[in-house]
Structure formats: C-alpha cells, structure tokens
C-alpha cells in the first residue's frame, strides 16, 4: 500500500482544497492529512474561522481522505513520515523549494502540485471583505 501525506489548514473548505486532496489521493492508496491546529496557526499569524474539530470533521467527510492527524509544529514532519510509513508527501506548488519540505526527500518522495487557478482561502476572505 502506498501512503501519501499532505499538510494544511483547510479552513473554508473550497474547490482548490478538494482538487488537491483528489490529486494527492491519486498518487497512492491511503491519504493522511496533517491538519494545522489553532495554536500552530496562531504561531504563524493565521486565524481560522472553524475550530480544529470542525475542520477535521469536514476533511473526514471527504472521500479522498483516509486519516486526519494534528499538525502542531513545523518540525514534526519527519516524525509523521516515519510514524505513518509515508511513501510520498504532496503539497501545493507554492511550497516548492521550502526547506521544511525539501528535507523530507531523504525519507520519502515529495511532489508539488500546481494550485487551482483563481481560488484560495485568502482570495475568498478578500472577496468577502474579511481580514485574514
């Protein structure tokens, strides 16, 4: 069984998120999503609309997702890959070259997917006049 892992906040779940999850799952048999906790997001200067448990429940309802785990810190990635026996990490192309993901190439394959044109949580918030 090929196991795939991706990371994200997945607040205001939208078509770009669904498309990323669909394409990530297509890379293997089992998709693990590491979901950023509120505390981790606060440390990054981000605020979510939905709390962790709500975002987790929404992801668990998506048919491509097999397991949702908490993302508490930047440095947990190697441990996640080892603990969940991950074969590939899949991320949006905006993360390509980031050392926090490039370091994983010593442990598994890393793939970057193009983002979905014209959609992002930031754009949705901007269009609605909401501050991030």
Q: Give the catalytic positions in this structure.
A: 44, 46
Cα separation of 1 and 12, whole Å? 31
The helix/strand/coil state of 103 is helix
DSSP characters for 52-76? HHHHHHHHHTSTT--EEEEE--GGG
70 exposure class (CB count in 10 Å sphere: 0-12, 13-18, 19+): middle
């Amino acid at each position: 069984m090929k196991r795939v892992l991706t990371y994200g906040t997945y607040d205001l779940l939208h078509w770009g998120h669904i498309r990323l999850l669909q394409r990530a799952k297509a890379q293997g048999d089992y998709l693990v999503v590491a979901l950023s906790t509120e505390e981790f997001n606060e440390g990054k200067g981000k605020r979510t609309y939905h709390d962790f448990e709500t975002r987790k429940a929404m992801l668990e309802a998506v048919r491509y997702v097999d397991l949702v785990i908490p993302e508490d810190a930047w440095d947990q990635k190697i441990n996640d890959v080892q603990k969940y026996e991950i074969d590939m990490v899949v991320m949006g192309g905006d993360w390509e070259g980031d050392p926090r993901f490039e370091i994983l190439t010593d442990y598994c394959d890393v793939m970057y997917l193009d983002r979905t044109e014209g959609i992002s949580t930031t754009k949705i918030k901007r269009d609605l006049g909401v501050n991030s």
